[in-house]
């Protein structure tokens, strides 16, 4: 009796450990799980309801318009056009997505992280200075200047950026290892949260005067996504 209880506990623990270690979009259990809004028509999988796979059609796996440049007339001079499960319902459960990023001359895709995805980026036009920073305690900056045709990887969760150092527009396509990678833009999240983080927290965290933190918190933090 004691032995079988012990065995059960061990099996339960192993099941828990394997589900905790699966920190990525789960493997699909069927060919497709096209996301639908209507729960009556559907089964709930991976945060979305799935359409009956027999009813899946080409348009569930289709997006048009990635040839259209994003509008970079904004304070950071860049624009991200996402193509994830919000745009293509058929990406549900598949663990992959895309984005187009446009950069005005000297435009910046500001330091941000994707909590659920590694990113691989290819430069189609222009010259980008890109980089990411490794975790504590090293916080090493790994950076490079990329030209047309160059590819760079930003590991999951790490803070990264791309800066157009050319005097012409730049364009890149990013592939991400999640149907819903998420974006946390560092300045926006920390200095522009709603409601604001207590000034006592930020003055201590950044070792800055209240006036500087007040100024930063009252600044407008553009979201280029």
Which residues here bind ligand NAG, judged by CB under 6 A?
71, 73
The distance of closest approach from Cβ of residue 169 to ligand NAG in the complex, given in angstroms and rounded to an integer, is 14
What is the number of residues in the chain? 225
In angstroms, the CA 126 to CA 23 distance is 35
| 107, 170 contact by CB (below 8 A) | yes
Largest CA distance in the chain: 75
Residue nearest to ligand NAG (CB): 71
- Count Cα atoms within 13 angstroms, Cβ side, for 129: 11
Query: Judged by CB, which is closer to ligand NAG: 85, or 104?
Result: 104
The distance of closest approach from Cβ of residue 79 to ligand NAG in the complex, given in angstroms and rounded to an integer, is 9
The distance of closest approach from Cβ of residue 104 to ligand NAG in the complex, given in angstroms and rounded to an integer, is 11
Integer-rounded Cα Rg, in Å, for the chain is 21
The distance of closest approach from Cβ of residue 74 to ligand NAG in the complex, given in angstroms and rounded to an integer, is 6
Helical axes 199-206 vs 210-218, angle rounded to 10°: 110
Query: Judged by CB, which is closer to ligand NAG: 129, or 222?
Result: 222
What tokens appear for 87 in the block? 């745009």
Query: Judged by CB, which is closer to ligand NAG: 74, or 217?
Result: 74
Query: Judged by CB, which is closer to ligand NAG: 21, or 73?
Result: 73
């Amino acid at each position: 009796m004691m032995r079988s209880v012990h065995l059960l506990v061990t099996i339960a623990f192993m099941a828990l450990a394997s589900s905790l270690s699966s920190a990525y979009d789960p493997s699909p259990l069927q060919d497709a799980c096209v996301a639908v809004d209507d729960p009556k028509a559907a089964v709930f999988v991976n945060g979305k309801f799935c359409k009956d796979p027999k009813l899946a059609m080409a348009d569930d796996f289709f997006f048009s318009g990635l040839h259209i440049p994003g509008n970079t007339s904004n304070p950071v001079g860049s624009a991200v056009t996402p193509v994830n499960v919000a745009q293509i319902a058929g990406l549900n459960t598949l663990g992959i997505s895309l984005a187009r990023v446009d950069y005005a001359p000297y435009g910046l895709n500001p330091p941000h992280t994707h909590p659920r995805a590694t990113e691989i980026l290819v430069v189609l036009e222009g010259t980008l200075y890109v980089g990411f920073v490794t975790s504590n305690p090293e916080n090493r900056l790994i950076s490079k200047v990329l030209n047309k045709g160059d590819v760079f990887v930003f590991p999951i969760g790490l803070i990264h950026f791309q800066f157009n150092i050319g005097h012409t527009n730049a364009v890149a396509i990013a592939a991400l290892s999640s149907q819903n990678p998420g974006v946390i833009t560092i300045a926006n999240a920390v200095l522009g949260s709603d409601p604001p983080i207590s000034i006592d927290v930020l003055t201590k965290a950044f070792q800055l005067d209240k006036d500087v933190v007040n100024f930063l918190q009252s600044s407008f933090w553009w979201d280029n996504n």
